[in-house]
Structure 1
Amino acid sequence: MAKVLWRPPADVLERTRIGAFLRWLEAERGEKFEDYAALWQWSVDRPAEFWRAIWEHFEIVAQVEPADVLADVSMPGAQWFPGARLNYAENVLRMPGVADDEPIVLAWSQTRGPITLSAAELREQVRRARAGLRRLGVRPGDRVAAYAPNIPETFVLLLATASLGAIFSSCAPEFGTRSVVDRWRQIEPKVLVAVDGYRYGDKVVDRAAEVEAIRAELPSLEHVVRIGYLHEGHEGHEGTDWAALTAQTDEPLAFEAVPFEHPLYVLYSSGTTGLPKPIVHGHGGILLEHVKMLALHHDLGPGDRFFWFTTTGWMMWNYLVSGPAVGAAIVLVDGNPAYPDLSWLWRVTQETGATYFGTSAPFLLACRKAGLVPKDIADLSRLRGVGSTGAPLPPEGFEWVYEAVSADVLLASVSGGTDVCTAFVGGVPLLPVRSGEIACRALGARVEAYAADGSPVLGELGELVITAPMPSMPVGFWGDEDGSRYADAYFGTYPGVWRHGDWITIDDGGACVITGRSDATLNRGGVRLGTSEFYSVVESLDEVVDSVVVHLEDPEGGAGELLLFVVLCPGESLDDALRARIARELRTALSPRHVPDQVFQVDAVPRTLSGKKLEVPVKRILTGTPVDRAAAKGALVNPESLRYFAEIRAARG
């Protein structure tokens, strides 16, 4: 068993929202569960009863109640809450347990000063933005696009758009023109709302030219609304600005009643190997899933301040901004997380009084590597929870949080994806935190590990699959009229079963370890090796900043080649001594199979716009695919990094 770092307090059932849910289930349904495992099993064996309980316990507001819960369990094609008519924005703006004068949005930025909105002020801003969109002719089903960062205006725009039954889509302003156009040309937005630029640390980034280029490439646009974010009050002379859009009007705030599956927003896959997939999520599925996760798994409610560092180009932003639906205030932060140094986000946590801080595993590991002790430089006494996602968090990352941040927080390493806009494995207040382990499968998520023959396995590595429908599975892909692209993307390998594309090991207690993407698996001598444990060892070396590893199979059936590429600290070079130390560390910590055949030094590892490593394009380049066909450069934060691998390919012949 892995080392236990945190245990639930004795009164956990009295002090948590999941405890209150369990009491409600017993009182209202006569259902009593001995532990989390029993509750999870019930939630996946009897999904209609579980999701109806979520609906009723959290008092979901619907203008028409559903006739049923789960009319069709097939995947794809599950039918949730047929007949229901509701609105996501109405449920978010209900803000249960929050008084009108209480803060509900706290925004910190490196571009402008802090902004705080009370519950009443948020409703008022949404009312005005909604009226402004109506004046521009926005109607149910129209698309509204935001080229804007994680700031209050973007959140207000989402809620105003949703209140009309229109469909929202956002791209972070660090996305270049081609990346944006590749996404939005598919959905043909009517309105574009865009910032003029932003500051990223000490860098000023003007986006006026990009906005004009995007406008020129999207013939569907009828209106462009400018936000003077970089140059406040100087939105430009053409079109409408944000102040004009939200000018005073007497039109009341109202909410279009839409079906459960009515499109709420469109998210996108990374688009590294073609056009990004436009993933459509619905009002009801997102609302129920986020309420469940935020309240029962993260234990968020009135009085909490929920902070997850994210951009509007990552599904974690959509997850974050559902916080008010459970009564939690949200902390919106825009800027460079490492400016002026890695302590900035921890100081923001203190300044905003955040009770929950979520971030990426690479950020936590960077703090650890830098020797940062957040509890020594910030008052984190209000912090009750820490979340980590974006990559597997290795044991040393877990242990650093409990040593350097707080011994009392509930640390949740979570994993899910844009495809479901949630985490389907993570933490929960009822279970201990063990080093390097994801504590549980989320309620209502029947996550299993499949062997190569499609049989479920426990205690061994397998394909991560979901074998029963979840409400937040996509409504579909935009423009995929017959559903064939959607079916092929998730159900093509195992008919009727969602294949997610990760390797997972699930123990008999339900704890999980995810070891990387299954399409980037290292397979040596018939043994599958996950990439995450590999990176954990290599990047723990002081000299190594980043790394990527690929396995090149031998078409004749031999062992193939395991190639490691490392980015080193300034002033370091890859010599025989460092190569030998890398090999020794991998052999000792993992196994002789993990020792690479060759190690190369590169200047950068290719990453998506949301920061994920790209092993597959590297492998394609090394096996002869031209750089311009191996990955869509607009989907990378550093497309120039691909040339290093082309040069290595050429040198290797």
Structure 2
Amino acid sequence: MTLWRPTAARIEGSALREYLDWLAEREGRPFADHDALWAWSVADLDRFWTSIVDYYGVGFSAPWSEVRTPDPMPRTRWFTGARLNWAEQALRRGADTDVALLCVREGGAPPRDVTWAALRRSVAALAAWLRAVGVRPGDRVCAYLPNTEHAVIGLLATAAVGAVWSCCPPDFGAEGTIGRLAQLEPTVLIAADGYHWNGRVVDRADVVATLRDRLPTVRAFVHVPYAFVRPAPPDSVEWADVVSGNAAPEFAQVEFSHPLWVLFTSGTTGLPKGLVHGHGGIALQGHLWAGLYAGLREGERMFAFTSTGWALWNMQLGALLHGASIVLYEGSPRGSAVWETAARTGTDVMLLGAAVVTASTTEPGLDFGRLRHVMVSGSALPAAGYHWIRDDIGADVRIDSTSGGTDVSGSFVGANEYAPVQVGRIGGRLAGVDCAAWSEEGEPVVDEVGDLVVTQPMPSMPVSLWNDPDFARYTETYFDTWPGVWRHGDFVTLHADGSLTIHGRSDSTLNRQGVRLGTADFYDVLETLPEISESLVVGVDQPDDGYWLGLFVVPAPGVALDSALKDTIVSTLRARLTARHVPDEIVEAPAVPHTLSGKKMEVPVKKLLAGRALEKAANIASVDDPDALRWYADFAASRR
């Protein structure tokens, strides 16, 4: 179902069309639309990425000698010889008196504005302090911070020095944080004393003390007194003292693939994987995604509802490359808080998870006059979510279901200025991303379910995994199935019109009677039923070629999973999907466990039901509700 189409005037005035007109003159050939751009971009990948460098004026302080090396993925290197600094790129636009960061806290207090001049001064001061305490290029600066200006300043200053950044949000417990940051052996730790959530002020002083005790390589600790007024911990330096100097800006010129930050996977089993992204790749990705697909221009505003532990936080920083400002919201999304923030701050582009949309409400009288684009990521947006945005937020707002990952700190697929909005579908493949759906035999397929693969390298792919010098873990994670081809781990349908449908993770995809079923299809249907709060579906192989398809249901408050509700579930799945989607058993559950980044823990529950012990099936420190996962472990044990 087509919900929305762009007008000719909207296309003509877009940042994408402006780039296509420039590109047509540069290449001496027309580019009628995004489809033409995508086809050219993957046919001549090197020339496409040099066009991004030239169009956005990426400032290399030393020239490149080769666009990319001939090495197959994951050893491909881009723009060899080039030197730059991502932080310098991020801070070069934006008028001094304009607002760079709008910092909003739950509860309705007025935003704290940070101008571009103040941001540049704070970054220069903190970078000078980091150098003074001995931080050098390649050292690690780690943080335990909420979504506030402190995290943005900390990252920019770390990057300015050429050191490597990694941050965990303060809703992570001590074990989950140590499991990530201890791998990096940080030199400096920056940590806040607490955060705000659902009207509560959450004290994290004990967790911070544990981090300091169990990160023995930390030589300097910066205390951020954000949530409480009380004396600073012993042997700490106050945040105000490290950002108040008058140092001149200084940016270490590093090679294109020099590590910028480490992002961690959710780590549902074992230690989380550290994904190392480089200065140059992230600069190019930020220009591409925030410039051509978010369409941001100087003076506009992007609001991403995210924590510092989710890749959306890093993706939003691409806005700075274009002189656009960022809205930083700290708190819970309850009620209409997210949309009130968008209206109050005059947001132009939003980025948020599908779960936030489905749980949202709005208040009468909110003015979304500037909002033109809502980007939705993290999981598939249910059909009802599309209609809710159109009806409650704005009929002329582009709804952009997008998909990528922490892996590339960006997107593979999403909408573009030419694509119509179709309920349940993603607009198309992004320029420079040579992705496809492949069958089990490694052949491209259209209009049928296949593995999402990327057949040519991207600059924002990880330069390495942390502590993986021979690329063994990197290769095992992405290239084991088809050498030299990135297998992302999602099942996808590439439709004949170029749009896509994501069906869920391939390691959790159901295989019933030889037919692969995506878990996202179940949730899209079931979680529109008012009687259901949440659901989880898993499939388990059984002896003698048997297969058990189980559906766990968390009823809405005051609702029981009785025979009538079970009949409704069965008839709804049969009518809206197929008879194959009807589960073998429907079980009432108290909750659905998620990773700390909000993804349903389908694979660990599947492992439990297959007989794996809890400690082997999941890392409890990476679970949002450990008691919920323990319930599934007990359920699995009772069935043996």
Query: 1:233 Cα shift?
Result: 6.5
Paired amino acid for 1:218: L
2:629 maps to 1:642: yes
Deviation at 1:409, TM superposition (A): 1.0
CA contact (8 A) 2:414 2:428 kept: yes
Note the C-alpha offset of 1:232.
4.3
Question: What's the CA shift for 1:73?
Answer: 5.3
Matched, 1:257 2:253: yes
Conserved? CA contact 1:12–1:19, under 8 Å: no
| 2:549 counterpart residue number | 562
Map Cα deviations across residues 212-248 of structure 1 (whole Å, 9 max, x no partner): 1111111111011100001146433431110121232
For the residues of structure 2 that align with 1:66 and 1:650, how far apart are their CA atoms? 59
Q: 1:194 aligns with which of 176, 191, 208?
A: 191
- In the alignment, structure 1 residue 343 sits paired with structure 2 residue 336: yes
| Residue 278 (structure 2) pairs with residue 282 (structure 1) | yes
Query: 1:177 & 1:163 partners in 2: Cα distance?
Result: 28
Query: Where do residues 130-149 of structure 1 align in structure 2 (5 Å cutoff)?
Result: 130-149=127-146
- In 2, are the aligned partners of 1:539 and 1:546 still within 8 Å (CA)? yes
Aligned to 1:599: 586
Identity, % of aligned pairs?
43
Query: How far apart are the structure 2 equivalents of 1:597 and 1:359?
Result: 34
In the TM superposition, what are the counterparts of 1:4-403 in structure 2 within 5 Å? 4-72=2-70, 74-95=72-93, 98-110=94-106, 114-232=111-229, 234-249=231-246, 251-338=247-334, 342-367=335-360, 372-373=361-362, 376-403=364-391
SS at match of 2:359: helix
Residue 26 of structure 1 and its aligned partner are, at CA, apart by 1.5
1:557-594 CA distances to partner (integer Å, 9 max, x unpaired)?
A: 23x11100011122221111111111111111111111
CA deviation vs aligned residue, 1:156-204 (integer Å, no higher than 9, x gap): 0100000010000000011111111111111100000000112212222
| CA pair 298-73 structure 1, distance change in 2 beyond 3 A | farther
Determine if contact 2:353/2:379 at 8 Å carries over to the other structure.
yes
The answer to whether the Cα contact below 8 Å between 2:61 and 2:253 also exists between their aligned partners in 1 is yes
User: What do the CA deviations read for 1:579-612 (whole angstroms, capped 9, x no partner)?
Assistant: 1111111111111111111111111111000100
Equivalent position SS for 2:498: coil
Contact in 2 for aligned 1:130/1:160 (Cα 8 Å): yes
Instruction: Name the amino acid aligned to 1:409.
Output: V
Tell me, in whole angstroms, the C-alpha distance in 2 between the residues paired with 1:449 and 1:226: 48
Letter in 2 for 1:403: D
AA at the equivalent of 1:30: G
Partner SS state of residue 62, structure 1? coil
SS at 2:218 equivalent = coil
Q: Which residue of 2 aligns with 1:651?
A: 638
Distance 2:295 2:404 in 1: 18
Q: How far, CA to CA, are the matches of 2:141 and 2:226 in structure 1? A: 19
Q: Structure 1 pair 113/135, CA: closer, same or farther in 2 (3 Å)? A: farther
Deviates more, 1:231-240 or 1:253-262: 231-240
Which stretches in structure 2 are left out of the alignment for 5+ residues?
A: none
What TM-score comes out, normalization by structure 1 length? 0.96
Question: SS at the partner of 1:69?
Answer: strand
Q: Secondary structure at 1:566's aligned position in 2? A: strand
Please report how far the alpha carbon of residue 13 of structure 1 lies from its aligned counterpart in structure 2 after TM superposition.
4.3
Structure 1 CA distance for aligned equivalents of residues 431 and 497 of structure 2? 14
Length-normalised TM-score, structure 2 = 0.98
**Count of residues in correspondence between the two structures:** 639
Contact kept in structure 1, 2:340 and 2:362, CA below 8 Å: no
Q: CA deviation at 1:110?
A: 3.0
1:409-428 paired onto structure 2 within 5 Å: 409-428=397-416
Shift in Å at residue 4 of structure 1? 1.6
Q: Paired residue for 2:509, among 514, 521, 530?
A: 521
1: CA distance between counterparts of 2:478 and 2:407? 9
Query: 1:377 deviation in Å?
Result: 4.2
| Cα deviation 1:243-284 (Å, max 9, x = unaligned) | 1212324x3101100000000000001110110001100000
Say which SS state the counterpart of residue 189 (structure 2) adopts. Answer: strand
> Which piece of structure 1 moves more, 281-290 or 402-411?
402-411
Cα distance per residue 1:90-121 (max 9 Å; x no partner): 000012xx321111110101387521011111
Q: Distance in 2 between the 1:643 and 1:142 partners?
A: 39
Give CA deviations for 1:27-75 in whole Å, capped at 9, x if unaligned: 2221322222121011111111000000000011111121221232521
Note the C-alpha offset of 1:139: 0.9
For the residues of structure 2 that align with 1:31 and 1:142, how far apart are their CA atoms? 47
CA contact under 8 A between 1:131 and 1:246: conserved in structure 2? Answer: no
Distance in 1 between residues matched to 2:54 and 2:489, nearest whole Å: 34
- Amino acid across the alignment from 2:175: R
1:495 aligns with 2:483: yes
CA contact (8 A) 1:298 1:427 kept: no
User: How many Å apart are 1:131 and its aligned residue?
Assistant: 1.3
Structure 1 residues 298-351: Cα deviation after superposition (integer angstroms, max 9, x where no partner): 11111210001000000110011221101211100010111xxx2111111111
